[in-house]
Amino acid sequence: MEQKLEKFKQILAEVVDLNHASAVAGWDQQVYMPRGGAVDRGNILETLAAIAHKKFTSDEVGKLLEELKPYAETLEPDSDDACLIKRVAHDYDKETRVPSRWVADFARVTTLAQTAWEEAKTDNKFEVFQPHLEEVVKLRREYADFFKPYDHIYDPLLDDFEPGMKTVDVERIFNALRPQQVDLLKKIAAKPEIDDSFLHVPYSEQGQWDFGVEVITRFGFDWNRGRQDKSMHPFTTSFGVDDVRITTRFDPKRAASALFSTIHEGGHALYEQGISPTLRRTPLADGASMAVHESQSRMWENMVGRSKAFWKFFYPRLVEIFPQQLANVSMEQYYRGINKVEPSLIRVEADEATYNLHIMLRMELEIGLMEGKIQVKDLPEIWNSKMKEYLGIVPPDNREGVLQDVHWCGGAFGYFPTYALGNLVSAQIWEKLNQDIPNLEDQISQGKFDEMLGWLRSKIHRFGKKFESQDLVKRVTGSTITPEPYMRYLKTKYTEIYNL
């Protein structure tokens, strides 16, 4: 059986290598590739995706799985090998339902859609992106059909990013969360507005870059195993446990944008860099799910990066880099400014109190598209009306509206809900983290993050994708995903800031 297991692992390693090669090409597409290279890049990614899919869904892998499943039952349930066989069995069942031709078409269509989206966003022309998005939606509906019968057409898509989670589960969580967040927003809206004008003056791009690098270096980001570049939309990608890439972006109108995108993506990268080397070249060398992944980025971005303790240490350094912009701004003013609650157009710039509403809006649109109740051509108008309904504001153009996110051009329907779920998980983990490290706030105020990172590595990072999200969250916090800790966190934080 050992020989069969080794053969199984060797095939999986080759599939992982092919997927990492695709990731390299995808990273380059968003960072360095000239716009005219889209067709050629699409062909490359189409070929790599087809080869990887055929290799993974081969009869040989299926036969080995059938032979190894009984063997897995004899192993310790939490062992790397038992978890590998279980996880691959789940993924194999999904991928064998999907024809290789579809996989290749999807890779090609989304590559072309990426370039079309970048052009459409730059030029504020939704019509440039529309036909590509229509193709993507068509393919995602076809994908869902491979998994009939399902409880909901959105379920197979959601499962790609949050295995085991159903649409009804997410809707139940969101329905419990929405009224509490709306009530909090109403209380905040009744209070005097916070002045954050100092954030909307020019800050040098290089200064922003340097400060962000200093911050995530102190967090523990390993520059020998990672790097940062610029892209239109910040993202994190991994080519292996020892090669993790992040990107950031700069907005002249929003001085804090680059910093918080660097911290956010740095949180993702710390997770990837913390995965156990024993999982290298296996499908387990990844995050447990996108919600768990997002819990890490949002924790570092918000619970650390927007905390008063964080700025006690870092604010003097920020003033040193930007003495003119912050000459008359106290640390308390800065802290309140970066935590200002205000309905905003851009999801990635949204404050913590409104962010989840952006996610609920997108999930509603995605479900409408998958059910056929919404047509792509109507998206700009529906988007604007939903923004008015959810947040009381209307985008001035499609660039700041329906074209703002990169996800749809990549076909990542089912991804958005994991952002809000990640917020909830981050609060659950944060409560447990503070229980286990009672002086955590003092450590942060001294710029010390070793114990926090070590705790996360021990409890979460090292396991990679060995456990499903609900299982992992329960192991760490004692509960499956629930909104209560997140609302406790928001209410405590904003009661102090706004004197509620």
**Which of the residues are catalytic?**
265
Starting at the edge strand found earlier in the chain, the sheet holding 244-248 runs: 226-230, 244-248, 236-238
Distance CA 182, CA 160 (A): 30
- List beta partners, residue 230: 248
Burial class of residue 330 in the structure, from the number of CB atoms within 10 Å of its CB (0-12 exposed, 13-18 middle, 19+ buried): exposed
Distance CA 9, CA 81 (A): 9
Contact 362, 350 (CB under 8 A): no
Contact 257, 269 (CB under 8 A): no
Token pair of 293 as six digits: 């992944």
- List beta partners, residue 228: 246
Handedness of CA 125, 128, 133, 136 (dihedral sign): negative
Burial class of residue 277 in the structure, from the number of CB atoms within 10 Å of its CB (0-12 exposed, 13-18 middle, 19+ buried): exposed
Handedness of CA 137, 141, 144, 146 (dihedral sign): negative
Token pair of 257 as six digits: 């944008």
Q: Residue 489: which H helix or E strand, with range?
A: helix 484-498
- Residue type for 8, please? F
Report how far apart, in Å, the C-alpha atoms of 231 and of each of 27, 42, 115, 248, 376 are: 9, 19, 13, 6, 26
Overall size of the chain counted in residues: 500
Q: Pick from 168, 174, 164: which is nearest to 153 by CA? A: 168
- Residue type for 499, please? N
**Whole-number CA gyration radius for the chain:** 22
Token pair of 171 as six digits: 């809707």
Q: What is the 3-state secondary structure (H, E, C) of 316-369?
A: HHHHHHCCCCCCCCCHHHHHHHHCCCCCCCCHHHCCCCCHHHHHHHHHHHHHHH
**What are the start-end ranges of the H helices in 76-233?**
80-95, 100-123, 126-145, 155-161, 167-189, 205-219
- Which are the contacts of 19, defined by CB distance < 8 A and separation ≥ 6? 48, 52
